[in-house]
Every structure is written in C-alpha cells, then in structure tokens.
Amino acid sequence: MTRIDPAPLNPADTHPALLGSLCPPSGVKPLNFSPGPTSLAAEVQTSIKALFDAERMCSMYLSHRSPEFLDILASTVQRCRLAMDIPQEYEILFMHGGGHGQFAAVPLNLCPNGDEKATYLVNGTWSKRALTDASKYCRPVVVSSENQDGSFTHNPSFEHLDPESKYVYLCSNETVNGIELHRLPKLGIKAPLVIDASSDFSTKPIDWVGCNVGVLYACASKNIGHPGLTLCVIRRDLLGTPSKLCPGVLCYTTNAREGNLWNTIATFNVEVVNIYMEWMIAQGGVREMERRAVAKSAMLYKLIDQSEGFYSTPIADPSIRSRMNIPFDVAGGDEETTRHFLIQGWERGIVGLRTLTPFGVGKYLRASLYNGVSMDQVAALADFMTDFLKTCRSKHASASC
C-alpha cells in the first residue's frame, strides 16, 4: 500500500463539512461517527439530563468526600466490576490525564528504577505514541509491525518476547489504523499485559486472569462516558513500588490507598460512567455490546468489500479489522469526489467521518461505531454510501457526484 501523507487543508475548503463540523444544517438530526469524543447512547443522555432535574444536588457540584458522592462512587465501581467481570484482585481507579497520561503512568508505576525493560507491541498510531513517552521512564524493547511506508496493516508477532520485560504493552484497538485484537493474546512469558483499551473497553469480554492482564486503562470518551476521566484497572500485586518520580496524580498505589479520593475526582464524570454501566447491563451486558459491534461493523465492511473498489479499507485481513473504527476511502481517495461525499453526508446529518488534526487530512475517512452508535444510525450511513455509489457510477464517477 502506497502511503499518502496527510495533506494540508485546502484554503478553498470553506464548507462546514470540510472543516470538520459536527453540526449539520438546522433541523437535521446529527448522526455522529466521530472517533471521539462521541455521542452517548440515547437512553444514557436522557438519564444524564434527569440529573439536573432531580431534587438531590447534581454530582457536577457534589463534594467528592460527601456521603452522597461516596455512594455514587461505590455504585460505579460495583457496576464496572459486574459489567466487565473484573475479579476482586483488581483495583478500579478513576484518574485524570486521559490515555496520554497513562502513557507515562504505566512505566512510572511498574518500573521503579527507570532502567527496566518493557516490551512494546507497536501496531498503530497510539501504541507508537505510547512508546515515545515510555522511553523516558524505562528501556522499551520494540516489536513493531510498521511497514516501510509508515503504515500499519497487521499486528506484530507475539512470539519470542523478551522474558526479562517488566510488562508487555499493547493497544487492543488502534482507532486511526483500523486494527483490533478481538481477543487478547495469551503470551508465553510471565510479564503481565498492559492494555490501552481506550476505544474498545466494554465492547467485548476480557479474560483477565487467563491473559495475565496486569493493567488496563480506557479513557471514557469512546464507549463509557465523556472526556475528563480515565478508568484504570490494576492488579493489586503490581501496586506498592512506583518510581520515586511518579507524581501522585498518576500513582496507582497512592490512588488505590486513598480509595480514589487522593485529589478531587471528576465527580460528574464518574456518575456518567455509572449510568452507562447501568444501561449496558440492562441491555444484556458486554456480550450484547459485542454482538452489536460485530453486526454494525459487518454492515459497513460488506458494503465496502462489495463496492468493486469504489470504497476500500486498508485492512485486508478480516480477523483484525476493527469493529470500532472503520477507515475507508472514496473513489480511490479522489479528493473532489471525497468532498462531494462529505458535503452530501453532512446535509443528511452524517458527521464525524473526517476530523481535522494539526497534521491536516489523510486519504482515509473513518466511521467510528462505538456503543453509543445505534444499528439504525449505521444503517443510515450504509444507505447514504450506497446511494452515493449509485449516483457516481451513473455519472461515470464525474466531479458532479
């Protein structure tokens, strides 16, 4: 696959759809396929709105040490444990700093001397970025699947890993690259797994003990809440020996000892996670979330694969295609046709397929199908993509698509 470097924004692209707008024309209901933050499930949004109408004080301005909030915190921990079958030997923490904060927190907590080996399995943008931060606090052993052109289209080998590693780090779903581990690997070394599950946590079961999970973290803004909170699950035997350089706000030992209350926790965000977990359990739990994820992603992949090349995705192997984030191009990446696609989609309320970054825009659009995206919303996207394909073919893929 030839790499297409991100292009700068064309100064002529003044249409809201081309500027990354998530607000379609007035009166059109938005269908948000953004990679994150993303929309919450409709029922969850309704429950959150009710928090402001209730007679009790809203958690947005509850003291984190009040008995009222302590009840909310205990309920959230319990529901997370129930929803994801988290064993009792694991602590559940709610921390600050997002996934980026955990890039540093992991080695600072697990490598007290700063020169310990840690294996990094690099299979995309986020594991590569985590490696960059980790190199400041440990000695990374890198096992990468990066292609010569800088792209990622497969996973690195899980064989012959360094047995001296303090841990093995991986990202279970690479949002940018569209690569997902549908099940965690069982490695042949004693080192615990550390998992960035920011974009797929709560969408599939986890074999915590069988896969030797040591640490798993997930920023809330994909599948379990909104920005400002990171859920961290840490096996208790890994607590107690952080680096002396580890700040308290990132220290698992400190936050576990203080019961999530070492500093002011994000009280409102915690209650949103509580509501999300309650909704998820009521829907049928993590296995139902996985069933929906499989069905939603299959709908789009089938359309892409049967489009005879009009749409394409960079990941050929179905066994690693992400269920959460589907990268795809339009008409081989033709920019004019892609502009028409984005504008026409925006007019129908379909937003978030191209988000602008400091690096410009790339060849691939991306449809993100988190828990809050319904089957009906995915069907609406598939219908639009089908209609657009038919129109372009009838006009011989002209610029008037």
Which residues are part of the catalytic machinery? Answer: 126, 196, 222
Q: How far apart are the two ends of the chain, measured CA to CA in Å?
A: 26
Element (H, E) at 70: helix 67-83
Residues whose CB falls within 8 Å of the CB of residue 351, separated by 6 or more in sequence, listed in order: 17, 21, 22, 23, 24, 30, 31, 32, 33, 34, 345
Peptide bond into 11 cis (omega under 30): no
Beta bridge partners of 169: 120, 194
Q: Report d(CA 139, CA 106) in Å as an integer.
A: 13
* Cα→Cα distances 151→27, 145, 177, 179, 362, Å: 40, 9, 8, 11, 12
Pairing of strands 31-32, 350-351: parallel
Residues whose CB falls within 8 Å of the CB of residue 380, separated by 6 or more in sequence, listed in order: 31, 348, 349, 350
Q: Report d(CA 384, CA 370) in Å as an integer.
A: 19
Alpha helices in 284-374, H assignment, sequence order: 285-305, 335-347
* Residue 370 dihedral angles phi and psi, to the nearest 5°: -70, 180
